[in-house]
A and B are shown apart, each in its own frame.
Chain A
Amino acid sequence: MLKFVVPLIAFGLLVGVFIKGLDPERDLKKLPSPFLGKEAPHFDLPRLKVPNERISNQAYDGEVAIVNFWATWCVGCRQEHGFLMELSRTSDVPIYGIDWRDQREPALQWLSQLGDPYVASGFDADSVTGINWGVYGAPETFLIGKDGRVLLKHLGPLSRDAWENDFLPAIVAAEGNQP
């Protein structure tokens, strides 16, 4: 009896590993963030619209917030922009932008033409903050908890799907602890 059960279990486990490894839904280009559940890296950048003022993690201290890395050269950012505009009107969660590897002039033009969904944007021209946050392709969107920890990271344009299935439950859970 054991003679058949043991190999069968081993085979079953192996099949399980293969199914997981070959899952067509799995996108190898999407790397998990090592910051999930950990405190978001510190940043301190000049503001995009007001260059002589600065913005840092303290801007959203104690509240749930979205940090969105964007740039004018980034096609995905244009795709998600409309949805970010909608969120800025309909959602209570503040959205902070970090204009990543970009130039100030086109970035300001972008915001005045397409609208500005951000409470404020930092200007990270040489990608120091980008690297500290493990960013490797805009757009990337982080959900930050009240305690400053990274709750979620979304790669690519933020879609309604991702918002409703991933972000909203996480936001409800994060807000739920305290009204």
Chain B
Amino acid sequence: MSRLFLGVIFLLVGWSVWAIDTGRAFEDDEMQARYVEIISEVRCVQCQNQTIKDSNVQIASDLRREIRRLLSEGKTNAQVFEFLVQRYGDFVLYRPPMSGFSLLLWIAPGLFLLIGGIVAARVISKRMTMPLDVDDDEIDQVTS
């Protein structure tokens, strides 16, 4: 009984390795490292909050296969990303490029800080040069 129980535990713990072709794709360490780096940065287009490294849907395994093919053909990382973006758009990249609409997203926080800073500086400096809304008699009264 306890053996069966142990077996079930092992099956459950090992669940994740069933799904994905986790074996090494390349003999060469450097190639394997590049492969893992790339698939960790490509979004699965069907299951949008996973990388294709973590996803077991068919399209992710197809894309992994294409990436293995491109790498073994001697393509650079940049060429592989370009291949994917041409077909699926910037959306497949977990780190979108700083261009077009996403550029706006990148610079927006700084821009808002800048606008806020300018407005705050102007308001504060205006307040500081503003004459006190009291006449001299009242000041005399307070200070005497």
Q: Residues on A close to B: CB < 8 A? A: 28-29, 31-34, 41, 101, 126-127, 130-134, 136-137
Contacts and interface: CB of A to CB of B under 8 A. Distances in A.
B86 A34 contact: yes
B89 A131 contact: no
Name, among A33, A126, A127, the residue most crowded by chain B CB atoms within 10 Å (CB to CB). A127
Interface stretch (B1-9, B56-64, B136-144): B56-64
Contacts of B63: 131
B54 to A, nearest CB: 16
Contacts of B87: 34, 41, 131-134
Nearest 9 interchain pairs by C-beta: A136-B45, A134-B87, A34-B89, A127-B62, A134-B88, A136-B59, A136-B46, A31-B91, A137-B46
Given A28-B48, A31-B88, A136-B46, 4 more contacts: A34-B85, A41-B87, A134-B88, A137-B45
A132 B46 CA distance: 16
A131 B62 contact: yes
Given A136-B46, A137-B46, A31 B89 contact: yes
Interface of B: 45-46, 48, 58-59, 62-63, 65-66, 85-89, 91
Contact of A137 (B59, B66, B85): B59
Nearest to A137: B46
A161 to B, nearest CB: 24
A153 to B, nearest CB: 11
Given A131-B66, A136-B46, A32 B88 contact: no
Given A101-B58, A130-B62, A131-B66, A29 B88 contact: no
Contacts of B65: 126
Nearest to B86: A34
Best-buried of B45, B46, B63, B87 by chain A (most CB within 10 Å): B87
A148 B121 CA distance: 57
B62 A31 contact: no
Contacts of B89: 31-34, 134
A136 B78 CA distance: 22
